[in-house]
Amino acid sequence: MDEPLSYFIKKFGFDISNIKRIVTGKKYSAVILRNGNIGVCANLLNRVELKKEDLKKIDLSDINHRIILNAYYNASLNYSNNEHQTGDIFEKINFETYENIVMLGLFKPILENFRKNKIKISVFDMLKEDRELVSMEDITDYVNKANAVILSSTTVFNNSFMNIVNNTGENCDIFLLGPSSIMNRDMFLYKNVKEIFGSVFEKNDERVLNVIENGYGTRKFLPFGGKIYLKSDLTQK
């Protein structure tokens, strides 16, 4: 199966005329469509300087194109599913039922919940620092042995998604997490993906775009959105 962005291009296409504006900042990029839908994607230290004209020919090997494309599908697909439910990952998933939990991409508020509830978790992140981070050299071994993986949705645009999910064991539940999440049921076609946790914003909310353009991240713009999740029919726990 194709990696997600390639898959979505083939299934839904990419209509550049549907984009009203592209906003880029230090931490995030955003796309607002002509219908007012807003999609976001983390930059992860990439400097994104693209205009609509640059996207007339999509290059999936270009990380900047992938970031904007991720935001585009975030905007075009996250509003279209009436099966979304409201909730936070730690409220909806009972992690005490898992023996071997791995987090790929450090989400500090989530990690604090694990610490507070004294639930063991192994955390990997290439770009951040924390006393509990495990060496990236061990990631394949940990992922292969995990029965629960909290996976940053930024792995879709940075093209590490397929390698990670395909390295998980047969009895593993993957939970995609973050405002970059593409909330579409076809994501459940990928191995072990059970639930997707993301965000959706009010249409035409300039506050979100202004925060991103001014270089801020999730702590500033997430209060303007709602935490939503999409559940696979195959979720076991």
pLDDT, tens digit, 9 for 90 and up, residues 161-191: 999 999 999 999 999 999 999 999 999 999 9
Inter-axis angle of helices 4-12 and 63-77, nearest 10: 60
CATH numeric code, 85-199: 3.40.50.11590
Asked whether 31 and 208 are in contact (CB, 8 A), the reply is no
Phi (first) and psi of residue 193, to 5 degrees: -70, 120
Cα separation, 189 vs 191, in Å, equals: 7
b/e string for 84-123 if b means 16 or more Cβ within 10 A? beebebbebbebeebeebbbbbbbeebbebbeeeeeebbb
Strands ordered across the beta sheet of 148-152: 85-86, 225-231, 193-201, 173-177, 148-152, 101-104, 122-124
Question: Are the beta carbons of 72 and 39 closer than 8 angstroms?
Answer: yes
Q: Is the pLDDT of residue 236 over 60?
A: no
With a cut of 90, say whether residue 132 has pLDDT above it: no
Query: What is the per-residue pLDDT for 174?
Result: 98
The residues that bridge with 101 in the sheet, in sequence order, are: 148
Give the per-residue pLDDT at 235: 57
The pLDDT of residue 14: 97
pLDDT band at 203 (very low <50, low <70, confident <90, very high): very high
Say how far apart CA 79 and CA 92 lie, in whole Å. 21
pLDDT band at 237 (very low <50, low <70, confident <90, very high): very low
* pLDDT, tens digit (0-9, with 9 covering 90-100), for 7-62: 999 999 999 999 999 999 999 999 999 999 999 999 998 999 888 999 999 999 99
Query: What is the share, in percent, of the chain residues with pLDDT greater than 90?
Result: 82
Q: Is the pTM of this model over 0.85?
A: yes
What CA–CA distance (Å, rounded) separates 100 from 104? Answer: 13
Average pLDDT for 225-237: 79
Contact 229, 85 (CB under 8 A): yes
